Amino acid sequence: MRDAFNEMCVMFNGKGYEKIMINSLFNQMTLKLPEDSFWRVRKNRMEILVHRETAEGYGTVLGSEGNSMEFLNNRRITFEGGRMVDISHLDSRAFISENFSKENLDRVAGFFIEEDDGHMRMGIILGGMEKKGIINGETMNDGVFAMKGGNLCDESIRLYMDMTDVRVDAVKPGGKIEALLRDRKWIL
């Protein structure tokens, strides 16, 4: 799978996408990509940085990497201006303050698609992302990374989102929409 992901990264990186749109019964999210964003492969996962202030909409959580956030399973998280603002069926303000108090840990930092044992999953990364290999494949200092739209946070949380009948599209400059995923299948 890694070889296929590497090929897709090469193809996607040449297209200059501006946004990722995720739509399904359980997810309605728009993620803006910083200029010069760069898809990369990490283990069995393709991931891309998103702008720290532009994730809008909601997503339904199915699980988390390492199950560190199992109390979010089957809850809808709503984002405005890139920041987590509501978690269904919880006292959101108190919960976010207690569990995401570190600076920028409540922000969407990235989007990923992965395959594991033939099963495709997707999700979002909260907090920070490694600076190497995200924008033009180069390591950046903190100032440049923040200017490009990255989160300066040394922790991260990966949440898996519901993929029932999911449609993932990429938007090119000028508004042209290209399909990436339809119900766990690549559209290439």
The structure tokens 């994730």 sit at: 55
Q: What is the mean pLDDT of the chain?
A: 88
Residue ranges, the chain, pLDDT below 50: none
The pLDDT of residue 33 is 92
What pTM did the predictor assign? 0.92
Q: What is the pLDDT of residue 136?
A: 67
User: Would you list the domain boundaries of the chain?
Assistant: 2-186
Q: pLDDT per residue over 40-71, tens digit each? A: 888 889 999 899 999 999 999 999 987 678 88
pLDDT for 134: 61
Q: Which residues of 24-52 are buried (b: 16+ CB within 10 A; e: fewer)?
A: bebbbbbbbbbeebbbbbeeebbbbbbbb
